[in-house]
Chains A and B, each alone.
Chain A
Amino acid sequence: MKSLADLEAIRNKTVNKVGLRKENAEETRIVVGTATCGIAAGARPVMQAFVEEIQKRNLSNTFVTQTGCIGVCRLEPIVEVYAPGQEKVTYVKMTPEKAQKVVLDHVVNGKIVEEYTIGKAE
């Protein structure tokens, strides 16, 4: 059973990390399209997989967020990755399994997973 006390423990553990992060501003943003089209196509479990993978690998400065319809509904779930010093990369027809690979290859090792990108799908 999770309690509010557990949340306080998370706060105490994390508060220093947050302070350090403010000084080191470069962050990676993973943006998931969660309009009706994205949600119906499975965007929520994809978001979940990203959060779990980031937590598991203890990646600081990497955040998952949402946006509306990206405009190519037939390719949903769509995910955009903004890594520091890189152009935006758009991944399409995402699944939780693909999300794990994107975190490992792209976010951790800096290597774009070409086969999942919109360029390959079109």
Chain B
Amino acid sequence: MKELSLNILDITQNSISACATKIIISVEKDTKENLLTVRIEDNGKGMDKEFVKSVTDPFTTTRSTRKVGMGIPLLKMSAEQAGGEFKLNSELGVGTTVTATFKLNHIDRVPLGDVGQTISVLVSCNQQVDFLYVHKSDGEEFKFDTIEIKEILGDVPLNEPDVIMWMQEYIRDGIKSINGGA
């Protein structure tokens, strides 16, 4: 993947397939620790211990169209090639948390890319899910919460093109305002 935001888009589909109704996506940049952390946390159906053990293996998948699943292996590879780590915690009936860390200044660290586009795609295509996006950058914080957005919109759906474009720009501006580009 060319951008970490594309990995986020990909991994979050797993949460949606697992029937999550609340998904928290967070990105944290810590320049002092030279660390970038990406986390996706859901309240989906979770996985049992056996499945968790096998899930970083590309030959494990729940998809029915073919027998390989590359989403998690690709994110794990991105993290490890940038001096970071990949962690997955899951509990049946509770949910799953995927965490990937990266050395911020590692030469092989993939850029974060356009998070605004990723979040707007997820939100507009999965209106039944509540998303919270939290972006932290060296102590400053920007939050985008779809519960608040849905309250403002009322009957107007989240897949209205004007709304999609607004979400993208709002998130991009929010990240820029705390100097959180990575």
| B154 CB contact (under 8 Å) in A6, A11, A40, A73 | A11
Known A64-B159, A71-B66: A39·B165 in contact at CB below 8 Å: no
Known A36-B10, A51-B164, A54-B161: A8·B152 in contact at CB below 8 Å: yes
Q: Is B19 an interface residue (CB 8 A)?
A: no
B9 & A69 in contact (Cβ 8 Å cutoff): no
Q: Is A18 an interface residue (CB 8 A)?
A: yes
- Binary flags per residue of A58-87, CB closer than 8 Å to B gives 1, else 0: 000001111011110100000000000000
- Number of B residues with CB within 8 Å of any CB on chain A: 38
B154 & A15 in contact (Cβ 8 Å cutoff): yes
Return the chain A residue nearest B169 by Cβ: A2
Shortest A39–chain B CB gap in Å is 5
B124: chain A residues at CB < 8 Å are 64
B173: chain A residues at CB < 8 Å are 1-2
Cα distance, A1 to B70, chains bound together (Å): 37
| B156 CB contact (under 8 Å) in A2, A14, A36, A66 | A14
| A44 CB contact (under 8 Å) in B9, B159, B163 | B9
A18: chain B residues at CB < 8 Å are 155-157, 160
B13: chain A residues at CB < 8 Å are 34-35, 68
Shortest B76–chain A CB gap in Å is 13
Q: Is A92 an interface residue (CB 8 A)?
A: no
| B152 CB contact (under 8 Å) in A1, A2, A7, A35 | A7
B65 & A47 in contact (Cβ 8 Å cutoff): no
A36 & B69 in contact (Cβ 8 Å cutoff): yes
| B66 CB contact (under 8 Å) in A3, A13, A44, A73 | A73
A65: chain B residues at CB < 8 Å are 125, 159
Shortest A37–chain B CB gap in Å is 8
- Binary flags per residue of A1-26, CB closer than 8 Å to B gives 1, else 0: 11110111011011100110000000
- Binary flags per residue of A33-56, CB closer than 8 Å to B gives 1, else 0: 011110110001001100110110
B155 & A15 in contact (Cβ 8 Å cutoff): yes
Cα distance, A96 to B155, chains bound together (Å): 30
B162: chain A residues at CB < 8 Å are 10, 13-14, 55
Query: What would 5 more interface pairs be, CB under 8 Å, given A69-B65, A70-B65?
Result: A1-B177, A10-B160, A11-B152, A36-B74, A55-B162
Residues of B within 8 A of A (CB): 1, 6, 9-10, 13, 17, 63, 65-66, 69-71, 74, 117-118, 121, 124-125, 148-149, 152-157, 159-166, 169-170, 173, 177
Give 5 A-B contacts (CB < 8 Å), ordered by A residue. Answer: A4-B148, A14-B156, A40-B6, A55-B162, A66-B121
8 shortest A-B CB distances, which residue pairs?
Answer: A55-B161, A71-B65, A2-B170, A66-B125, A2-B169, A69-B65, A36-B71, A36-B70
